[in-house]
Amino acid sequence: MLHGEPPWYRASRDTREVGIPLEGKTAFSPSEVQTIQVPHRGGVFLGYSHMSGDPLSGGAASESGWNFSAEKKLLRYFGAVADFSGQSGSTAQRGFLFGLRGGASIRRVRPFAQVLFGAAQLRQSSYHPSKLTTSFAEALGVGIDSPVTHLLSWRVEADSLMTSFDGHLRQDLRLSTGPVLNF
């Protein structure tokens, strides 16, 4: 027993039951339909983002912008993430990343870690016309969601974003904060 409830209590309240027909039949009696639990939680984040890089690795000096991510829980502790961001300063950089996020609620907060892969675009306006370069990108990050209400949380997140524009490896630190709408 966990807090007076069976151990499966928490997992069952975070899911909904879905009937899945078995054995390739087209008509079933209620006893022939197997019930499984499917997670139905996730969240949408839109916030402010600040990126600064290591000057020795050719990273960005200081860029500010936005970060949008959407997460769909696949399992109790893990979800699929789509992350889009844009920063501008001396250059303009856009990121299109996808990956996995894992986290668990501990008391009233939810710490998480994520690994994301995708592409990044860098627009350098010092060239005329401006130069657009695309690179493979990966981000390793951690963050914490703190609930404000049942459907709204506040997120603080830090990611190490690695790209390689024109053969130069860049490693930038991206800090993001903003509201998360939980569904």
Structural domain boundaries of the chain? 9-39, 42-182
DSSP single-letter state for residue 56 = G
Residue 3 has pLDDT above 70, yes or no: no
Among residues 98, 183, 93, 175, the alpha carbon closest in space to that of 142 is found at: 175
* Model-wide pTM > 0.85: no
- Mean per-residue pLDDT for 109-117? 97
Residue 22 or residue 76, greater confidence: 76
pLDDT-derived band at 60, boundaries 50, 70, 90: low
Residue 100 or residue 133, greater confidence: 100
Give the 3-state secondary structure of residue 149.
Answer: coil
Characterize 50-76 residue by residue with b for buried, 16 or more Cβ atoms within 10 angstroms of its Cβ, and e for exposed. bbbbeeeebbbeebebebbbbbebeee
Q: Which CATH architecture has domain 42-182?
A: Beta Barrel (2.40)
Residue 28 has pLDDT above 70, yes or no: no
- Mean per-residue pLDDT for 171-180? 95
Virtual CA dihedral for 76, 47, 157, 161, nearest 10 degrees? Answer: 110
